[in-house]
Amino acid sequence: MPTRRAFLGHLLAGAAAARPALANDWQRIVHDAARFGDRRAPAGVAADEDFWAEIQRAFTLDRTLINLNNGGVSPSPRVVQEAMARYLALSNQAPVYTMWNLLEPQVESVRRELAREFGCDPEELAITRNASESLETCQLGLPLERGDEVLTTNQDYPRMLTTWEQRARREGIVVKQLSFPVPAPSQQFLVDLFARNIGPRTRVIHCCHITNLTGQIFPIRELMALARPRGIEVIVDGAHAFAHFPFTRDQLDCDFYGCSLHKWLLAPHGTGLLYVRREKIERVWPLMAAPESMRANIRKFEEIGTHPAANHNAIAEALEFHRGIGAERKLARLVYLRDHWMDALAPDPRIRILTARDPAQSAGLALVDVAGYEPGQLTEYLWQRHRIIVTPIVHPEFRGLRITPNVYTTLRELDVFVAALRGVLKNGLKA
């Protein structure tokens, strides 16, 4: 009976032997490896380094550095890069025809597949450039009056808080930022926090599905159940959630959801999605003007002028790569990688993990505080001495290093990170 290593080796040999001009054998390798992994539960596959080695080799990376900031923007696998290059080359043959007439209509296929993944009607999903564009469409497009209140938290994304603050200055709405401990005691704690702060003029709740700071997951469905009977709109920032851990629209029961696709879906940089429940579309003004005839059309949120078709069309390849791995296997691996470095560092009393281990409250993104060291200091040291990229987080109420491995990250790279921090704890920044 062939071993797993021999099986995957056979796949690689086949890929090297023949590479079709407009196809990519890495996609086949991922699908075949995933089918082989189907025989075991996701938790079993998560620790299978042979399986993940094939996924890792699907990327074009600089392994002289260690990138643990995939929460900002992730590299796309080779199959996505090559698809985008093909579309760009075709676009530039005669853009007024090849880009507008040949490639742009294919966005409807991308819309259909994204909607299938999210679990909504394609007529409820717009393709945008990032989470900020998606969320600001809702933030600036929902009608509010002077004195109306928005509830959010002081851990929501700074650009989204800035958007609400500008609306407060310009229109006289009230923005109330709630504070909560890290990690939160429970998801019910977060529901109760919002419930206690709802007032007679509360019109909007804005919250993250998972925060970019500590990886705290919010109970969106429970917040919807709290808000909807009161006529309160809920805008969900899913920048770090989509393709990070599995869920569908119906599981959230949300009305507005915005996210980036160049993070955990590994899609081309500058791609995102906006979901608006069908009956809400007409109520939201687009960021850029659209004709009256489009008032109930989800595509009004895509009226941004000339833009490349290559970026959004290559999302289709990223979706297939994601599906080839499998959402449950991907989550299991991300949690396995998180636990690998956490377990190695946590026993030291000078290490404080600010992310819950509860699977309902966290996934692959986590924050670690190293006593006695500023995050900026450590970030600079890790880069200059070890070529490790991390994210310094400095919040008024906590601080730390945000660590976000991805499916291409190796255990060896995490071990280098752990050894570097242990060196600091032993010898200081001179290590």
Q: So where are the chain's domains?
A: 90-318, 329-425
Task: Indicate whether 30 pLDDT > 90.
Answer: no
- Looking at residue 430, its pLDDT comes to 78
Range scoring the smallest mean pLDDT among 16-25, 79-88, 208-217, 287-296: 16-25
**Percent of the chain at pLDDT above 90?**
90
pLDDT at position 346 over 90: yes
Selecting from 3.30.1330.60, 3.30.1550.10, 3.40.640.10, 3.40.1190.20, what CATH number does the domain 90-318 have?
3.40.640.10
Check whether 1 has a pLDDT greater than 50: no
Mean pLDDT estimate for the chain: 93
Cα 2 from Cα 23, distance rounded (Å): 28
Domain 329-425 part of CATH 3.90.1150.10? yes
Beta strands in 110-228 (DSSP E): 125-128, 149-153, 174-178, 202-208
Rounded distance, CA 110 to CA 20, Å?
23
Domain 329-425 in the same topology as domain 90-318: no
pLDDT digits (tens, 9 = 90+) for 33-81: 555 545 689 999 999 999 999 999 999 999 999 999 999 999 999 999 9
Cα 249 from chain centroid (whole Å): 16
State the Cα angle at 183 between 395 and 175, rounded to 5°. 55
3-class DSSP assignment, residue 175: strand
Query: Averaged over 196-225, what is the pLDDT?
Result: 98
